[in-house]
Amino acid sequence: MCPRACISLPCNSLLYPHSSISRQTDVFNLGLGLGLKKKNLPILHSRRKNVGIKAVDGQTSESLSSWDEKPYEISSDETKVFYDEQDIMTFLDPPKELIPLDPSSYNPAGYLWKKIDDIPEERRHRLLHFLNSRCTFFPLISRIWGIAGTRYEDSKLAKKSASSFLSDACNLLSLEFWNCRTSGGPLPISLINLFKKVMFCKDGETFGRILYGGPILGGIANSYSPLYFTVKQHKEIMSTEQPCDFAYEFGDGLLDLQDYPQGFPKSVKHPWPFNDHVVVYVRNVGPGVLVGQAWQEGKKLEQVPKKLCGEILMVKDYSSNLQ
């Protein structure tokens, strides 16, 4: 018997329109190992084949289960479409033909966490590019932020972290690289909606730096006006009181550090608007995936906080991390 027991939907089981990535929508009971109640959670595809006979070295052998299948299929343009990546995309942007499940019957954040964990680390960075290929990319980042908010409804799931770098004691010998994308915003933020983030530890604290722009303008800005921030523990967003896990505080840009990671310039005062008490509130989404909201809270007491840009999706680049 297949180790992952699947139960087909009875009367409301639906099929995607026929395509190279069409598969039946099933429901199966996920324990997830996340302390979630054992309720029916949506599984976005089922790959089952009848047990068959195949020739191996001149002899016949029995195909044992559907787990013998490859984890991808070849699309019409000869590219590999991985099932685990496709599951996440379908969950975030389901076809209109699907009947949505009652959100109270499962934890959406728990399901998304599990599906992200299914993607191997060396391929997880593709998630950002995979989402970016959809015309609905920007609304999807906002949807991820909302889904991540349901994580706090489960005490065990709420304790999980997207990166051990952010939850364990600082490792002074490591750098952690992340690829980031915003869901839009006004100038000048819209000019740097695609950027990288580098995390590092010094003197028992966790810091980060934003790397943005092209090879010329970006290189000048990153060298002479680096955007540093400090990671601080926060439980909620100041202006909305919505829950979060931690925050990136940009402050005035000046860090009280004796030395910096190799190749990093010394901190200088941030340009506007980053010097106007900018804070990015962050939620854990899954292993190697974070989502954040950037707020310009202002240095003046009478200033009304406003969002600096749309939500920010951050995906860890395991291939670039240095130890």
The range of the structural domain enclosing residue 271 comes to 72-316
321 part of a folded domain: no
248 part of a folded domain: yes
24 part of a folded domain: no
Give tens-digit pLDDT for 230-243: 999 999 999 999 99
36 part of a folded domain: no
179 part of a folded domain: yes
Peptide linkage before 188 cis (omega within 30 of 0): yes
Compute the distance between CA of residue 24 and CA of residue 146 in angstroms, rounded to an integer: 26
pTM: 0.76
121 part of a folded domain: yes
**278-286 and 289-296 as β-strands: parallel, antiparallel, unpaired?**
antiparallel
* Angle formed at CA 29 by CA 33 and CA 124, multiple of 5 degrees: 55
Q: Residues in the chain with pLDDT < 70? A: 1-70, 99-100, 103, 133-138, 166-173, 185-191, 213-221, 321-323
Count the domains in the chain: 1
For the chain, the residue count is 323
For tokens 């799931």, what's the residue? 157
Separation of first and last alpha carbons in the chain: 42
The pLDDT value recorded for residue 266 is 92
Compute the distance between CA of residue 167 and CA of residue 101 in angstroms, rounded to an integer: 33
Give tens-digit pLDDT for 92-148: 888 877 766 776 788 999 999 999 999 999 888 888 877 776 655 568 899 999 999
Identify whether the C-beta of residue 310 lies closer than 8 Å to the C-beta of residue 138: yes
92 part of a folded domain: yes
The pLDDT value recorded for residue 11 is 33
Separate counts of helices (H) and strands (E) for the chain: 8, 16
47 part of a folded domain: no
User: Which residues make Cβ contacts (< 8 Å) with residue 117, sequence separation at least 6?
Assistant: 286, 287
